[in-house]
A = this chain, B = another copy of it.
Amino acid sequence: MKTPSEKEIHGIFLKIPFLAGLSEEERLELRRHIIHRDFRRNEVILNEDDTSNYLYLLLAGQVKVIQKIDQHKEHILAIHKTGDFFGEMALLDGKTAPASVVALTDGRICLITRETFIHVVRTNRRAVDGIIDLLCMRLRQAWLQIRVMSFKDAEDRVWAVLQGLGEKFGVRDSRGVIISLGITHQNIASLSTTSRETVTRFLSKAVKSGEIEILDRKGILLKRAFSEKRHLF
């Protein structure tokens, strides 16, 4: 994993919507209270039903937010990338974490303590608005996911998931949108409530029909046009 430089971290902080209202000085003060932590692929960062006292900001790498369904099955609620937050729910309503967070790749997070977080929110009107926006986004995303899950055909669900990944992680290319993530067929299955085999079969079929292309190094090129922005993740 490439450790982000001081400059990059500063850039990440500047882009965080809910800290937009802070002065440069306040931002620096905030950063002084922050703990950094590296993590490795498959490491559990946060456990469902634990009481957590931090807000997490992802500085590098990707994580998945999951619910365990049974011993052999998990459902992925979201995938986060650099600059994304998670863990805010437990801080906001004081209950236990509603989902676990597991690393998809090696990476780095920083932890903002409950006290620091509360302080920022209490002293900063725009921070509150940012938090409300964040919650609204999460809720819309969850409802969209519910909609996708109620599609009858497994293939429709998988395709919707690919589109969603394309919107959040895709980079435009002359031929379409490229998703390059450390994601497995099993992960896609856990996102789309289907089995790993169904995903594998669907992808092969989609390659044959020319809708997608598998690139070297885990890239998926989506060639079919998007219907619209939906923010599935």
A residues in contact (CB < 8 Å) with B: 67, 69, 73, 75, 77, 89, 92-93, 95, 98-99, 128, 131-133, 135-140, 142-147, 149-152, 193
Contact = CB atoms under 8 A, between A and B. Distances in A.
B142 A93 contact: no
Contacts of A75: 146-147, 150
Contacts of A146: 67, 75, 77, 142, 145-146, 149
Given A69-B150, A146-B146, A139 B77 contact: no
B147 A69 contact: yes
Given A135-B136, A139-B138, A149 B193 contact: yes
Contacts of A73: 150, 152
The binding surface of chain A is classed by DSSP as helix
21 contacts: A67-B143, A67-B146, A69-B151, A73-B150, A75-B146, A77-B143, A77-B146, A89-B139, A89-B140, A92-B132, A92-B136, A93-B136, A95-B136, A98-B139, A128-B128, A132-B135, A135-B136, A142-B143, A146-B146, A146-B149, A149-B149
Given A139-B139, A146-B149, A149-B150, 18 more contacts: A67-B147, A75-B150, A77-B146, A92-B133, A93-B132, A93-B136, A93-B137, A95-B136, A98-B140, A98-B143, A99-B143, A128-B128, A131-B132, A139-B142, A142-B143, A145-B146, A149-B149, A149-B193
A122 to B, nearest CB: 9
Copies of this polypeptide in the complex:
2
Nearest to A150: B75
Contacts of A93: 132-133, 136-137, 140
- The 5 closest A-B CB pairs, nearest first, are A142-B142, A135-B135, A93-B136, A75-B150, A149-B149
Contact of A136 (B89, B133, B137, B150): B89
A88 to B, nearest CB: 9
A168 to B, nearest CB: 17
Task: Indicate the member of A93, A95, A99 with the most B CB atoms within 10 Å.
Answer: A93
Nearest to A99: B143
Contacts of A133: 92-93
